Amino acid sequence: MASDTLHANYAVGKELEVQCQRCVGSTAHRVVADARVVGSDHHMDWETEYQILQCMGCKAISFRSAASNSEDVDHYYDENGELQTVYSVAEKLYPSRIAGYIGLKDGVWLLPDKLRRIYQETTNALTSDQHVLTGIGVRAILETLCKDQAAKGRTLFEQIDDLVQQGVLTPGRAAVLHQLRTLGNLAAHEVEPHNPQQLGLAMIVLDHLLEEVYILPAKAKKLFPPISGPTVTAPVIAALPPLPPGTVSVFPPFPGVPLPPSS
Ligand SMILES: [Zn+2]
């Protein structure tokens, strides 16, 4: 008969190297609390660790589970050439994350509602290894952005080119977006998954674009409010009397200062 034994907080303070949800790359994480379940029956044994972790860099709290059993093993040769067997470990991190991608952490709330929703669903799909859905999401982000920016054209191809005409996109960035458009096409119509590296790069390109079009202008508007008070407008300048001969205006509304003598 199977039996499970629970060991609570046996690894508190232990350090692990795992991918952080905020820092780019793996960082040292400390076990804050944990539970370890160990069990066996006549055929096999198993073990699962559940841990609350804290990144020692950014202090973010997240969750990890690591499961293994005697039926799922890996083999390797040690330094003496002897074949060794170890249990393979299935690790899961929550919130899910992938190496090298952190997304728009502090600016995503500045995106328009529809764009924010599809962006969050797509990044969740990316970090959960759902490659077909991520490809479809990449195309949906592009289509939503074009619609929001009132891009003209019957197809996504034409709309991306129209954003170049509008000055929203540079030609170089548009060329990359055309590649993402093709990528989303394959995912949507052929149910063709793309590799995680392609999808990660596609999302990084979209992150830069969303930052440039929405997030940076919104932050700048907040940090640098428009100057209030009276300003000199074009009609006022036009209404100023003409400068006397031999003078030059240095700053409206000063009427003019004498020109330096010519040598
Ligand atoms: Zn961190």
pLDDT in tens, 203-240: 888 998 899 889 988 888 888 877 665 555 445 445 55
Residue 46 contacts by C-beta under 8 Å, 6 or more apart in sequence? 38, 39, 40, 67, 68, 69, 70
Same domain membership, residue 168 and residue 205 = yes
Q: Measured between alpha carbons, how far is 218 from 236 in angstroms, rounded to an integer?
A: 31
Q: Measured between alpha carbons, how far is 246 from 26 in angstroms, rounded to an integer?
A: 69
Same domain membership, residue 124 and residue 45 = no
**Per-chain residues with Cβ under 5 A from ion ligand 1:** 20, 22-23, 27, 55, 57-58
Q: How far is the CA of 243 from the centre of ligand 1 (A)?
A: 63
Residue 84 lies in a domain: yes
pLDDT in tens, 78-101: 888 898 888 999 998 888 887 777
* Domain end residue (candidates: 63, 94, 125): 94
Number of domains in the chain: 2
**Which structural domain, as residue segments, surrounds residue 217?**
108-222
- For residue 250, pLDDT over 50 is answered with no
Residue tagged 């067997």 (tokens) = 85
Q: How far is the CA of 27 from the centre of ligand 1 (A)?
A: 6
**Of the listed ranges 37-51, 150-164, 212-226, 233-247, the one predicted with least confidence:** 233-247
